[in-house]
């Protein structure tokens, strides 16, 4: 499907997720969430442990399927796709950044960033050039030949961000991306997200930290599976 360039990157309507606990009991992890994220926005979804934010992230990342409601990712209704189709959405439409960087230790930064391109028809030279350009974009062009153990935590997270962006996905989904970093390095990563937003990328940040959330353009709070109304963050 060719996406409508005017469509929101994320649009959910009454998105819900119910889990069975035992044979009869049900746990409503997410209840009727309505969320719209437009292209070029930096949005935070904030909530404490057990609030439903991880469930929300898994649904937005097509790592899980909703019990009810609809989810349009880049204009495509993914609510009823099968497992193989969801895998294609994750590959082409969503870049993931996690608290743990998930870099392969025996590979260089360049090789880690190139890895998702192995599923794309492209020569090795083209993959290498694109990966180098992405490392340059996150300020790590000079560290391309270094392995993760030779990089600081902040540098490893930048490599992970470059890898997440390598397929030019419409959505960058970041789950507690500063959680394993000291405060100064965390601020640098948040500044990078702001720069990516200014360059036209769409960033959704999942966090429990109000200070981290305030860096976003807009904030949604989630409690007991209920997604609250949008409020402004900071574009500073």
How much is the mean pLDDT over the chain?
91
Assign residue 106 the CATH number of its domain.
3.40.50.300
Residue 173 lies in a domain: yes
Mean pLDDT of 164-187: 92
Identify the pLDDT of residue 5.
Answer: 63
pLDDT tens for 55-77 read 999 999 999 999 999 999 999 99
Give the integer Cα–Cα distance in Å for 207 and 47: 7
Specify if 160 maps to a domain.
Answer: yes
Tell me, what's the pLDDT at 194? Answer: 93
Q: What is the total count of domains within the chain?
A: 1
Does residue 94 lie within any of the structural domains?
A: yes
User: Is residue 2 domain-resident?
Assistant: no
Is the pLDDT at 37 greater than 90? The verdict is yes
Cα distance between residue 48 and residue 115, in whole Å = 33
pLDDT digit string, tens, across residues 6-36: 689 999 999 999 988 766 678 889 999 999 9
pLDDT per position as a tens digit, 95-124: 999 989 899 999 999 999 999 887 777 888
Residue 3 has pLDDT above 60, yes or no: no
Answer yes or no: pTM beyond 0.85: yes
Asked whether residue 175 is assigned to any structural domain, the reply reads: yes
Q: How far apart are CA 127 and CA 129, in angstroms?
A: 6
pLDDT given at position 235: 59
- Residue 189 to residues 74, 86, 145, 157, 160, Cα–Cα distance (Å): 25, 28, 21, 8, 11
pLDDT at 182 over 80: yes
Domain presence at residue 32? yes
* pLDDT of residue 2 exceeding 80: no
Instruction: Give the tens place of pLDDT for each residue, 72-94.
Output: 999 999 987 889 999 989 988 99
**Domain extent for 226:** 8-232
Residue 233: what pLDDT? 81
Which pLDDT belongs to residue 7?
80
- Whether residue 46 is contained in a domain is answered as yes
CB-side neighbour CA atoms (13 Å) of 205: 34
Average pLDDT over residues 217-234: 92
Q: What is the pLDDT of residues 121-156, one digit of tens each?
A: 788 899 999 999 999 999 999 999 999 999 999 999
| Beta strand extents in 197-236 (DSSP E only) | 202-207, 218-223, 226-227, 231-232
The verdict on residue 1 lying in a domain is no
Mean pLDDT of 226-232: 91
Residue 3: enclosing H or E segment and its boundaries?
A: none
């Amino acid at each position: 499907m060719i996406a409508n360039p005017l469509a929101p990157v994320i649009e959910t309507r009454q998105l819900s997720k119910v889990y069975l606990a035992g044979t009869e009991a049900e746990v409503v992890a997410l209840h009727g969430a309505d969320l719209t994220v437009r292209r070029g926005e930096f949005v935070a979804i904030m909530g404490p442990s057990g609030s439903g934010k991880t469930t929300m992230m898994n649904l937005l990342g097509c790592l899980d399927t909703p019990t009810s409601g609809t989810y349009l990712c880049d204009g495509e209704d993914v609510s009823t796709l099968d497992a193989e189709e969801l895998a294609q959405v994750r590959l082409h439409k969503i870049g993931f950044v996690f608290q743990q960087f998930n870099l392969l230790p025996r590979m260089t930064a360049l090789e880690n960033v190139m890895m998702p391109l192995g599923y794309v028809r492209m020569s090795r030279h083209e993959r290498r050039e694109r990966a180098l350009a992405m490392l340059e974009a996150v300020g790590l062009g000079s560290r391309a030949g270094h392995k993760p153990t030779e990089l600081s935590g902040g540098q490893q997270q930048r490599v992970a961000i470059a890898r997440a962006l390598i397929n030019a996905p419409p959505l960058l989904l970041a789950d507690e991306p500063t959680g394993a970093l000291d405060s100064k390095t965390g601020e640098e990563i948040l500044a990078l997200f702001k720069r990516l937003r200014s360059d036209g990328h769409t960033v959704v940040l999942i966090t429990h930290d109000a200070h981290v959330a305030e860096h976003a353009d807009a904030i949604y709070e989630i409690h007991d599976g209920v997604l609250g109304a949008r409020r402004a963050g900071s574009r500073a």
